[in-house]
Amino acid sequence: MTTQTTPDVLVRPIRDVDAEAMGRVHAQVWHETYDNMVSKATLEAVSPRRLADLWSNYASRGEEYRHAAALVDGEIVGFAGSGPARDDNAPAERELYFVYLLDSWHRRGIGRQLFDAVVDEGEPLYGWIAKGYPGGPAFYEKRGFVFDGTERDETFLGEAITEVRFSR
């Protein structure tokens, strides 16, 4: 029987100098997760450089935005962020924007640490995940969220992805 050890993880705010590493991790998570959910053409357009541009100046957002990166041995392996609700008729004032973690670091408590870094305990919150996202519902249900049946189509690189909403 193989025993997984819990690595030493540093969870800290995202910094502007993290943009390149964030783009690399973001692209890898998309390739690992969405391989069977979006077309090959869309996945081929998901590049570390393209996503790094999204992360430029991210850390300079206002205080109402909370964001964190998880590092193992000095390398970013995941990140999370929350902030003001972006939807009309949102079920809460705050939204969990994302919790992304490389597959090789799943089930080691790092996702929970990232979540805890950007969300206050018991805080009313909602978010969206891709319908069929592997492991997603279980992760959020463990944190007190309920999937309310609301769906929407979001366009990413020209392709529609159906998302489902969770809230608490």
Domains of the chain as residue ranges with CATH: 9-123 (3.40.630.30)
Per-residue pLDDT, 45 = 72
Give pTM, 2 decimals: 0.87
What is the reported pLDDT for 58?
Answer: 78
**Res 36: pLDDT:** 72
What would the pLDDT profile of 37-85 be if each residue is shown by its tens digit?
Answer: 777 777 777 778 878 887 887 778 888 999 999 999 999 999 999 999 9
Total Cβ atoms within 10 A of residue 9: 17
Tokens of 149: 């049946």
Structure tokens at 47: 């590049």
| pLDDT exceeds 70 at position 4 | no
Tell me the per-residue pLDDT of 154-165, one tens digit each, with 9 for 90 and over. 887 778 889 999
Of 139, 77, 136, the C-alpha closest to 68 is: 77
What sign does the CA torsion over 131, 159, 81, 85 have? negative
Q: How many CB atoms lie within 10 A of CB 40?
A: 8
Two tokens, residue 55? 């992360």
pLDDT at residue 148 in the model: 92
- 5-14, 26-35, 39-48, 102-111: range with highest mean pLDDT: 102-111
Instruction: Say yes or no to pLDDT of 166 above 80.
Output: yes
Reported confidence tier of residue 128, pLDDT bands at 50, 70, 90: very high
Of the candidates 80, 150, 88, the residue with the CA atom closest to the CA atom of residue 115: 80
